[in-house]
Amino acid sequence: MRGQGYVPHSIVLTGFKGIRSGLGRETLDLDLDAITGDAALVAIGGTNGRGKTTLMDNLHPLC
């Protein structure tokens, strides 16, 4: 669907090493519809080892 105007509104990451080691969770749900207003920019923050790079690595195929 990439390149065909498809815009994902949520992503669920399951079983990724960065999520398990950083957050101690098996699954991470990221729901972009939960962002209110007309946000044109979304910032991802957190301390070292919390999964920021893991999230970005897994969003890359969708962009």
Residue 59: its pLDDT value, please? Answer: 73
Residue 12: its pLDDT value, please? Answer: 81
Q: Does residue 39 have a pLDDT over 70?
A: yes
The SS3 assignment for 30 reads strand
Query: For the residues 31-57, what does the mean pLDDT come to?
Result: 80
**53-to-5, 18, 50 alpha-carbon distances in Å:** 25, 8, 8
pTM across the whole model: 0.51
Q: Which residues does 46 contact at the CB level (< 8 Å), separation at least 6?
A: 52
Query: For the residues 40-48, what does the mean pLDDT come to?
Result: 82
Q: Does residue 28 have a pLDDT over 80?
A: no
